[in-house]
Structures are given as C-alpha cells and as structure tokens.
Amino acid sequence: MDESITQRAVSLFHALLAIHQYSTAEHDECTYVPFRPQLFSQGEMPSLTLHLLSDRVPRKLLGTSAWYHDQDDRVASVMVPKARADLWRVGWAVADVLGVAADMSGETGERDEQLDDFGDSHGEQGDTEFSPVHAQKELEGYVLRQQLRKLQGAYLSEAQVETERVTSLDLPSTVRRALELLHTYPSAQSLHEQVRHVLLVETESRAMALRLKRRSGDDLRYAMHRIFPDALARLPLWSLEGLKLELPPEHEVPLRPELTLMQSLYRVMYPASASSDEVDKDSLLRVALALAAVGIGLRGCVAALWGASVASRSERMAEHLNVPASWAMPDAVRFDPQSDYKAMRKKLFDGDWPELCKASPWQWMLALIGLLDAGYAMAFDPSEDAAEPLKRVFWALCVWQTESGSEADAVNSEVLQPRWPFDALPRFTSARCYELMQELPKALRELDKLCGMRVVRVRASAFGRGRNDTEFVDADGATWQLTKPQFTSLYDNTVEQHRPANSLRVLKVWSETRRTSDNELLAVHTLDAKLGRWLQMASVHMGEVEDLQDVPATPDAAKEDVVPMETESVNGGDSQSIPLPSEAGEALTTPVKRDSALVPVDLLRDGQQASWKQRFGAGRTSEDKGASVSSHFRIALLQWRIDDSYAHPVAEAGLNGLPLHETSLAELRKHLSGSFKDLNRAAKPGGEYQWGMDQVKAVSWPEHRRRVFLLEALEACHRLKVQLLVLPEVSVRPDTVSWLKDELRRYPDLAVLAGTYRHFGDSVDAEHLMEKMTLLWQPDDELADALGVKGSSEVFQFQRGKKYRAVAAHELFRPDVRVLAPLFTEECLLDILNGKRKGGWSSSQLKALVRALIHAPNKLRYCMELICSELFLLTSPANRKPLQQELAKVLKQFNGDASEVGQLVDSDFRELGELLTVAQSNRERRSVLLVPACTTRSNDYWHAGQASVLASGTATVFCNTHGAGGSCFIGIDSVVPQNGNHAGIVHLLTPYHGWHKGILQPNGRGALSKTDQALVVVDLDPVHVVSGKPRPQLLPEPMSLVAYLPIVEVVNKQENAENLSTALKDVLTPEGQSVLRRLLKAKTFPAPCAPPHEHDVFEEALTELLKAKRNDELKPDVGGEALDTFAALFGDESAVRERIMAWLKNRHQQPAPKAGEEKLEPAWLDFLVADLTWRANEDYAPSIRVPAWHGGVNPNSTKQDVGEV
C-alpha cells in the first residue's frame, strides 16, 4: 500500500465507524461491533473493502466497554467514556487493527503520549544511534498513538464536546482535529518537515490546554508566549535534531542564547520565502512564536539593566510608568498599563522566580521602559538608533494587548484554520510578525550598545550557581551577588554542556551580560542541556566561547577579536565553537593557548573550593545557612609586599611604577609623548615640585598589583566564610579603598580593615597628610533587612586618622586628635543609617533594629584597632611623657593647639583601659586588638600581644608587611606552652597534619617570615580568649588555625607585554610601545619587585609535584626534586616545603579531609595564585589620583585623565 499508517488510521476509523453506526429500522437497538478477528479485507487500495463477519449486539449490553488484544494476543477490555462511547470504541478497534493497542493500554500507562528520550534527557547522546529513517518511524508512531488516544476518548473529561452537527456523522471537533492531523501528517516528506509538523501539533495542543485552564478565550492572549517553550520542553533532543535551525547572520552582534534559539526557530518555522497559503494556515501559531521570542528577548535585556541598576546602586524603577510622550499609549478604557507595570515591578523587587517565568512580553516591555526611564532615558531620544525599533516593538505589543478578536474571518475558519482555541484573539498578519522579529534583535543590540553592555559566552568546568541563589561564581572564580531577576533561562533544571574534541571532560556553557567599562557581571543567561545542544548543532558559528581550558574567561578587553577554534564532530558529541564579536572597542590581544597537558588552575580551584567548604566542623559546609554562626570569630590577615602609600602618589606614577630595571626605564624615557613627559620629570627625588596638575587619574601598575592580590584574598575569605580581613599599614591608596568598597558588594558579611594611607590634599584641605585607617563592612541579607538597607548592597565605611607617630621611622602626618575609639560602634552605625534614611523608624522597625544591634552575630563589636606605633600606649607607662611631647611637636608643625596634649594622651590611656578591661563596666569588652603595621620591630608587638593576653585576656592580630615580617595571631597559646610534646603523638591538631604557621608560639616560632606573602585564617573565640581552669568540657580551642595560604605571583609575559603596551599607546610613541613589549618579555623583573613566575612554569611545577605524589616519589626524609622546584616559586619556600613534609610524615596518624578530582588534603591545596597579567582595557585600567605636589592647581593646567602608568 502507498498509504501511510496515519492515513490508514483515518480510513479505518471512518470505515469502522460506519459499520458500528450502521442500523436499520427493525434493528435500531442493536449494532455491529468492529473486532479485529472478525474483520476481513477485499481488494487493494484505494478500493479496499472491509467486511465484518459478526452478529448484531444489543447496544445496552455494550455499556462503556471496548476491546483489544494484549501483548499475548488475548482479548482484553477497557473502559471508555459513556458519552459517545461508539466513537471511542472504534478508536480502540483502529488501534487494535494497526497493532498498537497493547502498547497504549495498562493501568501504569500515561494518558498523555510522550516520546522516549533514549538517554539524551541531559543533552548527551545515548547509546542509540538515530538515523533519519529511525527518527521518522518514531515520530510517525508518536503522532499515531497521540491522536488515537483522542479517538479513544482519553481527554474527554478535560475537553468541551461540541453538540452542533457540523457533519453527517456528528463528530466532535476533538475527533475531527485528530483525524485531520493524522491525514495531513507529512509521512512522505523529509524529517525536517515532519518535526516541524509535530512541533506545530504540540504547540496547538498546549494552546488548547491553556484555553481550557483559563476558561476564557480572551485570557489566552496573556499566555500565548508560553506555548512554544512548553512544546519544546516536551520533545526530546533526537527529535529536535531533525529540525535544522537557521541561525542569524554571522556578522551580527551576539544575542543572548535564549533569544538566539527562538529567533533561529522562527526563521526555520516561518521562512521569509513562504507562500501566503502556508502563512495563513497557522498564523496564530506564528504569533505565538513571535511573542515567545519577544518575551524572552526583553527579559534578557531587563535582567541586564536590572543588574546595572543594582551595581550602580541607583533607582531601578519608578513607582509609576512613564511612557515617552511620542509613543502611543494603549486604550485606557480596555487596558490599564499602570496596574500591569506595578505588578511586574513587584515581581522584580520580590525576586518571584515562578511569576517572572510566566510574565508576558507586554509586562517585560513595561519593565524595560521603567528601567530605561530610571537610568537610560536617552534611549527614548528619537536620534538614538535604539529608539525607533523599540517603539515599533512597543506598538506591536500594544496592538496585541488591546485589539479585540476579529469575527470577519470566522466564516472561513474551516479554510484557514480551526478557530478554537484562538477564536477570541486578534489576528496578526505575517508581515507584522516578520517586522516584529526583525525589529526586536535590532532594538536589543542597540540598547546593549547604548547602555554599555556586551554579551559573552563562557565555558568552564562548573556552572557557578549553587544552593545560595544570591551568589554566582564566574569562570575566573570571582564571586558575584546576583538577585533572581538577573538570571534568565530556558529551562532552569540543567545547563548547556560542551565536550571538546578528544576529551572526556564535559564543560558547562552559559552566557553573561557584562558592563563594557569595568567588566561588571550584570546578568547570567542559560539554556538547558537539551536546547543548548540543539543550538550547538546549527551549521553556522554562533558566538565567541571563552573556554577556561583554552582561553581564560576574563573578557576584560574593550573588544574581543574572533578567536578561531577547532571544528569538532557533531557525531562525536561536540559542536563547533562559536566566535561572537562584541561591541566594546578595540581588542588588547588574544590570550595565548596553554599546553593542555598541564594541570589547569581551574581544576585546582575546584579542589580548593571543595576543601574550604569543609572547614566548618562535622556536617556543615560553607553553603549551609548557619555556617558563619559560631562562637568563634573567623579573622584573616594578609602579609604581602606593599608599594608604600606613605609616599606621594607621584612616586608610583609614570615610568617609576613600571616593573622594570632602571636601565630599561632609561631606554623608555626616549619615547615618551604627551603629558607623560611632565609626570615622568616630577617622579624623581627633588623634582616632585614640578608636578602642578591636580585631580589627574594615572594608570598604575602598583595599583593593578594591589587589586590582583586583594581579589585573591577576598575570594578566599569569602569561600572560607571569613568575617574580617586585616591589611597592613600604608598598603592601600584612597582609590584602592573606593575600589574595595565597590567590590565588597559581592561579599556580604565580610569586613575589611583596609590598612592605612596618607591623604594628600590641596592647601585648604583640613585632612591633608592625615594617615587614614578605614573599616569597610557589608551586612548579610538578614542583618541588612533589620538595618533597613536590604537590597541596596550597602557597604558601610568607618574611618579615623592615626594619632601617634613612629619616631624611629621619622613619620610625619597630621594627627587625628580625637580620643582613640573603635571604628565600629553602634552609635557610628546609627549615625550612618540616619543619614541614609528618608523617614523615621516605625515601632516594628525599631524592634528589629534593636534586636539586630544586640543579638546579631556581628563580631566587629569585639574589635579595637591601634595603628602600628599607637600600640606603644600599651607597652609601658614610661611612654606616657614621650607620647605627649611627640604629639605636641607634630601638632605645632601643623599649626595645631598643643596646650592640651597631656589631657589628650591621658584620655587615650583611660579609654583603652575601659575598652580592654575585664571589668566590663558598660558592654562586652573589646577583646580583639587589631594592629595593622609597617615596622621592623616585630618583637615589640609580639611582647605587647603576649602581655595583653596575660593582663586582660586580649587577643592580638598583628599584620605587618613583607620585608619586615612577623605577622601573626597572638592568644593564650602564645604564652602558655601546651603539654604533651613527646614522642608518639602529633602535637598540634591542624589542617596540615600537625604543622602550623601564623599563630605565635611561646618559643617565638609560628609568625610569618620576612619573605613570606600569605593569607592566614584563624578561628578566634572573642569571649573565651583565655579559657581558664578547669576548662568547660566542650569549649572549643580559643584560637585555631583554619588555613595558611602562601601566595605565588605569576604572569603571562607575552600577553602582559602586548596588553600593557596597548594600554600606554597614548603616552608612548609607536617605537616606545615596541621597546616596552621587548622589555616586559625579559626573563626577570627588578629584584625589589619579587619577580613573578611564568604561568606555564608554575603549572608545570604543580603538575610534576602531583605526578611525584601519585608515583610515591616523594620521601619523608628528603622530600624530592619536584617538591623543591615547586616550593622555590613561593616567597617562603621553607614553609611550603615543611607543610608537604608534614603530610609525608604524619598523614596516617593525623588525617585530613580530601577534596577535588585528585582527592587532595589541604596541605596540597592551600595556596593562592596572583596572576599579574595585565588584562584591563584603557577605559577601566587600575588608576590612582595624583594631586599637585604643592597643594594648588597650576593655572596653566587643566583637569584631565592621563592614560599612563
């Protein structure tokens, strides 16, 4: 037979129904029952005749039964709906004749027919290889079974059965539609056309289900955008593969992945060359797909703009909608946009994910208008390229929302398409849909460009959204605090995957919207594994993929060039990589591909993160809600080589800031251009007076290095749930503090005591030459809610100046004459809050505020800070008189009043006594003394700390700089030797099998060495600093080591040279840029710079070390060559070596938790990698303000930004 099985089913249904409904006047109460064993055929198609050899059966005996044959060919009965039972009985007979009834029966069978996924539900191909013939057979069988279920009455209880006689057989519309779908199934056409047909059938079925659920035809217009995504969710990957997507032209700026998919689907479902007949046949399904694309596209843009408003801490959306005057408003009588706008605004502020997923394109358009009006009103300017296409999209949505359903074409509904469930909807022409699909991507691209945003696609080993919905870790390991509206997805249960050629490793793929100027992450966009793989299989390149294995995922360049990637076989489970050019300016360079045989740093980071989550006791990880709620105070100190901010910024501006030898700098001076010459002339001893320009921003390599170190420290502190990070004295600039304040928005509940800096102001600045200490702190969400600042990402800043100078260091600064006091106090916090609030406090708000101030687990209330030489107040009463004399001397130099210095010093003595005393006259005592320092007299501070813990039970955190060293935590174990130091026992319980570093021991060991650069994390009990005797039975140790993280500095010299020379193109001649490239590629930086190592050298050393570990080549007595090579990369190589040696010796007697793919203990994982490779573009390069040396503005100079280092 030439007839397909679906068409045969239609012929059988009509024939068997005619037999079953055949009756005569004398036998009206009886009927023939079609039954497979009694059916015989005569002739051949198309003149085939069916014969039923049976007797009539009384209708009343049939009841609600139908019959078929099961898998064993035995007769079985099944219940059918009573209404129109003759139709459903025939449906079972057709299924029985075609041999599919047995597969459709059984109590465990699903009523709603579904295609098997054959192992590809997560986007991975199963073992079954699907040829087009096999796929066609499966699809045809699926359509056959799906429509036969309707002919069996499976959905009768959920359907509206029409009673109007429209044919001689009085068939309900459900039956007529099922027969039509079977008859029109394109069995003889390509797999592409068959999948298209199935998708249209599925979407129309979804529309019917929504219509029945909503009970109103007009309500369907608000849900039409959902039917195509829901239909895609039902179909497995192997079926979608048959529909070849047609992606946008290669030259177009990238779209977000969800919109790319929907736009590609529209192009293949409704090609521009389609005839008018094909368009009219399913015009409202065309509208549904267009609406889905519009809603998804607008949502991606809203997510990015919402992120931009969060990042800038500006007003996100006004309370009332403000549509541009030149845009037509909807009919207010029929539709009120204000109510929809307010509802959408509430969904966004509440972060209501389920409701956001259901929001209509109209609601997303209103949200977009609100966000643009609040922060980017220039987008509505008719002169902007985005204004006109955005207006057209708005107008099309207005028409869809406000026009009533047309009845003019109802007469011809049978010719065009079945009107139900679309009978109450307005008709969109194909031309209008086509225009909408053309204008939408154009509008969104122009908006991204106007608002300074770009879309990048990223590959990495893991997708960084965990159980904590507010946190996202990007491919670089950087942590971002994102709200739910900043995520978009189709769908959100899995993430797109990619397997590189010849690799067993599966990478996660997603897209990010980032701000062009500073690379701020604004939004994250994902496709699920199935849809992502379908999109990857398209025939043209789709976008630039930043693969962490090959290309570092740091899209900091103002504009990335297309990076050609190798083509990979689709059959092998891989897709073509996708180059997407961005709109952000000029590229710095293409990152150099590293040897894939080396151990990648991202795998190491994965192991670190897994290990650090385990540093919270049994059964708790850092993702648990109460991980940071503990009796202990988790504090970290960072000792590192600083570029002294005691000096005027001119010292690190110009050529002096570059990490080059003096001979190299001399060679570069011949190639200076522009204002860089003036800056270079002043950046030398005795020549500073020549710098007369004020408020100049100069790009700074030392500032770049500061931010690299601090980012690594912040990320590690966040992972370890550190509550306070302490930095050394004079280790930052004011610009660093501003940058830190912005960065801390990503790290809630982390405070940073940001060292100090000397402030350089103009001649009338009252704070000129003051040395300022800053405490930055962002409360977590729960505490922020109680403080009334939830959702604002508010970072609080507390600041004071240094008071007592270091005489031996010849310090000079303007002393802060206020009485010494802690930076964080409840009074200061309330002052800040009152200054930010617009109104007063309600009774309920006051209750929450008081409860938070008293009971919240904020341990900054235990801290007192003394800046370096201010500690001499505590060391001896003999210092009282010299302190008065020195303070008077300095005050006179600044024309201050020195008559009250005696009272000032005595007040400080009394205040410190009140704060640190065990008498606790007013509140909890300040039991943790924080001492940021830059001193060579470490012993003085150790002895002061030991004396403090013995005198008042005060723990000390002494944070010194590299070159002087001695940084440490000082507690009771620093003065009282522990018993039990004898053979047969590993003395200390630490993460490193008894080895420790960072806590001072009674024998003077434990402090960091002069050459060490490291982050040390310690748990400190601020209440029981001294536990006393007898000690409470289960009281934890008053001070315990959490992590010692030595820092290795690395650089990719090739990439660094190219990027840095490009950043200096405005201040160097082309010849100078070439010279700088050559100099930066030299083997070593100057000795004071502690030369960083090549990134590949570090990775190779790590690879060889782990290889030696796996092969048991390391010996507990001598270590091994691989260990020596690796340890030599760090500042204090003996510390790194000793820690690994402790693992070799003691791991069996004192085990530690293992983590990561390599199952490594903390001894192998706990270090930080500071990558100094310059990647910032010239618009957002790390820079510092360089004020005029003489404190005034040169009349011949103007305020400007100088793009120099």
**Residue in the block written with tokens 């002052």:** 831
Instruction: Tally the residues of the chain.
Output: 1205
- What is residue 926's predicted lDDT score, i.e. its pLDDT? 92
What Cα–Cα distance (Å) separates residue 1185 from each residue in 539, 734, 784, 1192? 51, 8, 32, 14
Paired tokens of 463: 């997708």
For 681-733, write each residue's pLDDT tens digit: 888 888 888 888 877 888 889 999 999 999 999 999 999 999 999 999 999 99
SS (H, E, C) 567-630: CCCCCCCCCCCCCCCCCCCCCCCCCCCCCCCCCCHHHHHHHHHHHHCCCCCCCCCCCCCCCCCC
pLDDT, tens digit, 9 for 90 and up, residues 287-335: 999 999 999 999 999 999 999 998 887 778 999 999 898 887 655 545 6
Out of 109-118, 249-258, 684-693, 1106-1115, the most confident range is: 1106-1115
Domain range annotation of the chain: 5-116+134-185, 275-449, 459-601, 633-653+722-1048
Per-residue pLDDT reduced to its tens digit, 119-166: 554 445 444 456 888 899 999 999 999 899 889 887 654 444 444 444
| Arithmetic mean of pLDDT over the chain | 82
Q: What local confidence, expressed as pLDDT, does residue 793 receive? A: 75
CA distance 256 to 579: 14
Rounded Cα distance, 356 and 300, in Å:
12
Model confidence at 627: pLDDT above 50: yes
Residue 980: φ, ψ to 5°: 95, 15
HSE-up of residue 680 (Cα within 13 Å, Cβ side): 19
- Does 405 have pLDDT greater than 80? no
For residues 1073 and 1077, give the distance between their C-alpha atoms in angstroms, rounded to a whole number: 6
pLDDT tens across 818-833, in order? 999 999 998 999 888 8
- Decide if pLDDT at 382 tops 50: yes
Burial (0-12, 13-18, 19+ Cβ within 10 Å), 429? middle
- With cut-offs at 50, 70 and 90, classify the pLDDT of residue 48: confident
Nearest 5°: phi and psi at 634? -90, 115
Helices 430-450/257-269 angle, 10° precision: 160
Please tell me the predicted confidence (pLDDT) of residue 548. Answer: 41
Highest mean pLDDT among 26-35, 50-59, 444-453, 1195-1204: 444-453
Sign of CA dihedral 469, 474, 475, 478: negative
d(CA 92, CA 150): 10
Proportion of the chain above pLDDT 70, given as a percent: 83
Q: pLDDT band at 1198, cuts 50/70/90?
A: very low
Q: What is the pLDDT of residue 733?
A: 96
97: its two tokens: 């004749």
Give the pLDDT confidence score for residue 1020 in this predicted structure: 94
pLDDT of 195 higher than 90: yes
Q: What is the pLDDT of residues 1050-1068, one digit of tens each?
A: 999 999 999 988 888 888 8
Q: What is the pLDDT of residue 752?
A: 98
List beta partners, residue 31: 57
Whether the pLDDT of residue 274 is over 60: the answer is no
Number of H helices, E strands in the chain: 36, 30
User: Running DSSP on this structure, what letter comes out for residue 1080?
Assistant: H
Residue 916 scores a pLDDT above 80: yes
The predicted structure's pLDDT at residue 979: 66
More confident residue, 27 or 343: 343
At 549-585, the pLDDT tens digits run 333 333 333 333 333 233 333 333 333 333 333 333 3
> Do the beta carbons of residue 1131 and residue 962 sit within 8 Å?
yes
DSSP 750: -
For residue 460, give every residue at least 6 positions away whose Cβ sits within 8 Å of its Cβ, in sequence order, or none. 474, 475, 507, 508, 547, 548, 553, 602
Q: pLDDT digits over 631-647, tens only?
A: 899 999 999 999 989 99
Higher-confidence residue of 866 and 29: namely 866
Phi, psi of 511 (to 5 degrees): -120, 150
Please spell the DSSP secondary structure of 679-703, one letter per residue: HHHHSSTT-GGG----SEEEE-HHH
Q: pTM here?
A: 0.80
